[in-house]
Amino acid sequence: MRSKREMIRLVRTPEGALEIDSTGKRSGRGAYVCPNMECLELLRKGKRLEKVLDVIPLPSFFDRLKERIGEISPEARR
């Protein structure tokens, strides 16, 4: 368990787009992911975004999320 401030918030906007919410205040259905590559792989392989947010992410979304994790946790780039 981690605090929300340590996590990355993902949000499905009212328009149906999936975005990384850097402010934590965007409107829409939100979910949190821990900022490491293991969590990213579980998120991708387990199709958890599809289940939780009812949205199918584009492959480019995972690339952006990977970059964001690298910004937050440089040691996570391994």
pLDDT at residue 47 in the model: 93
User: First vs last Cα of the chain: how many Å apart?
Assistant: 22
pLDDT at residue 74 in the model: 67
Question: What is the domain extent for residue 20?
Answer: 4-77
pLDDT digits (tens, 9 = 90+) for 14-67: 999 999 999 889 999 999 999 999 999 999 999 999 999 999 999 999 999 999
Neighbouring C-beta atoms of residue 68, cutoff 10 Å: 17
Of 57, 70, 65, the residue nearest 18 (C-alpha): 57
Query: Collapsing DSSP states into helix, strand and coil, what is residue 61?
Result: helix
Neighbouring C-beta atoms of residue 35, cutoff 10 Å: 19
* DSSP H or E stretch at residue 41: helix 37-45
Q: What is the CATH number of the domain that holds 51?
A: 3.30.1230.10
| pTM, entire model | 0.85
pLDDT at residue 7 in the model: 93
Q: How many structural domains is the chain composed of?
A: 1
